[in-house]
Chain A
Amino acid sequence: MHPSHKHVYLSLFAAFILYLLPWQGFGLMLRPDFVLLVLIYWMLRAPHLCNVGTAWTIGLLVDLASGGLFGQYALAYAISAFVALTYQRRLVLFNAWQQAAYVLALLLLTQTTILVLKLFSGGGLPGWSYFLPSVSGVLLWQLLFSRIRAANVKDSG
């Protein structure tokens, strides 16, 4: 099955809905970045459908919903999308663990970008728990998206 724009937008919309859910307390601390995970998935699987512009637009939506500074998620997602797309070719050669490490690096990159932007706009330094969503995100990735390699191979075969 070849993915189309419809799949990309519907899955991004679903991830956005998950983000909108009223998370609280510990769940909020652990909440993985669903939108970014779906974005990375499409970046790696179908880069012709999903590019930096898509990442930026959905990032702007997340900015609006989070109530933070306009454009910080948009910038962070765009940078991660750029990195993901640049190394997209090599990913097919990676094994599952290398892939997970790569995704973790992308998630941490996004969070670090947002942290830097927050520090610039006068935020305080959060504790180490700030990076927990990246860890939970990569676990979710292993559960849901780790078949990307199999899917890629199947597509080409």
Chain B
Amino acid sequence: MDPYQPHAFFARGPSTLVRLIFFGTLSIVLMAVDSRLHTLTEVRQGIVALLHPLEVIVHSPVAAYHQVSEYLSTQNTLTRENRHLREQALRQGAELQRFHTLLEENEHLRNLLGVVPALAQPARLAEIVHAGRDPFTHKVIVNLGSQQGISSGQAAVDEYGVIGQVTRVYPFSSEVTLVTDKDLTIPVQIERNGLRAIAFGNGRERAINLPYLPANVDVREGDTLVTSGIDGIYPSGMAVAKVTRIERAADSPFAHIVCTPTAGTETHRQILLLAVAEKPPQLPPPLEQPNPSPARHASKP
């Protein structure tokens, strides 16, 4: 027979059902507090900071494997990579010269127009520690946190374009939500014609959607989406995605536009975290005379 049967007949604390009701209520309260009131952030940060040494220990074999494989990378690979990087540096050097000229010209034109100067964006190099533990959200954890001066809202980019945004900061690590996540939106512009839109992560696959654009919109396959910079978070002109598919259904007033992110959201180990702009571009002062067109609101980050 079951050796533990007698226990049930004697008092041993509250019954299982009572426990379930107690803990169930407790977790529902926790969920409500966490999702609505956001008062648990400090608690979460504290406990994650306590868990941090454990994570470091757990990740150390993987980190050691990466180090060893880097150390053992052959002469051949290194030479090839070196040649590739040289080539890239040369090409980018040439482009950079042009860029300086353009920058000066832009500055000059901005001065002429009397516009606020564009903000310089200092950046920090962060390393991806691990992909998020939930396979259905597109998030990565990087090795810089609030102790290193990272704050929530910073943009994450790589050499090909925007990767995502810092959404949660812990003392020694932070969480970057990728552009493909369902909850991330980026104000973009189509490079070819300057059309403004908002890009939404798809969430299911490695894709970005452009909803709410009319069916007759001037978007073609192969168009590049760049950040418009009007949110004050992403510097303007960074590549976000390329349009890969457009479907115009007769029964829908909107075009179904699917894009692929240009940044290697799933391939890199290092990403750049850009500092948040000190203040978003200021709204123009309201006009004295009544304005027939409604004032545009600045988009919220």
Q: Which of B1, B7, B129 contacts A156 (CB 8 A)?
A: B1
Residue of B3, B19, B133 ringed by the most chain A CB atoms within 10 A: B133
Q: Which B residues lie within 8 Å of A47 (CB)?
A: 4
Interface pick from B53-61, B218-226, B257-265, B271-279: B53-61
The answer to whether A46 touches B4 (Cβ under 8 A) is yes
Indicate if A7 sits at the interface (CB-CB under 8 A). no
Q: Chain B 113-147 against A: per-residue CB contact (8 Å), 1 yes, 0 no?
A: 00000000000000001111111110101000000
Q: How many residues of B contact A (CB 8 A)?
A: 51
Tell me the complex Cα distance, A78–B27, Å: 9
The answer to whether B133 touches A23 (Cβ under 8 A) is yes
The answer to whether A75 touches B28 (Cβ under 8 A) is yes
B40-59 residues at the A interface, CB under 8 angstroms: 40, 44, 47-48, 51, 54-55, 58-59
Min C-beta distance of A84 to chain B, whole Å: 10
Quick one: closest A residue to B30, CB to CB?
A71
Q: Chain A 76-110 against B: per-residue CB contact (8 Å), 1 yes, 0 no?
A: 00110110011001001000000000000000000
Q: Which of A28, A59, A70, A117 contacts B40 (CB 8 A)?
A: A70
The answer to whether B48 touches A121 (Cβ under 8 A) is no
A-B contact pairs, 29 of them (CB 8 A): A21-B58, A22-B130, A23-B133, A25-B131, A28-B131, A48-B12, A52-B23, A53-B19, A56-B23, A65-B51, A65-B133, A66-B132, A67-B141, A68-B137, A70-B34, A70-B44, A71-B28, A71-B29, A71-B30, A71-B34, A72-B31, A74-B26, A74-B27, A79-B20, A82-B20, A117-B31, A122-B183, A152-B2, A156-B1
With A70-B33, A75-B28 known, 16 other A-B pairs at CB within 8 A are A17-B58, A22-B131, A23-B130, A28-B133, A29-B135, A46-B4, A47-B4, A64-B48, A67-B134, A69-B35, A71-B29, A75-B31, A78-B23, A78-B27, A124-B182, A156-B2
Residues of B that sit less than 8 Å from A by CB:
1-5, 7, 12-13, 16-17, 19-20, 23-24, 26-31, 33-35, 40, 44, 47-48, 51, 54-55, 58-59, 62, 129-137, 139, 141, 168, 175, 182-183, 203-204, 266
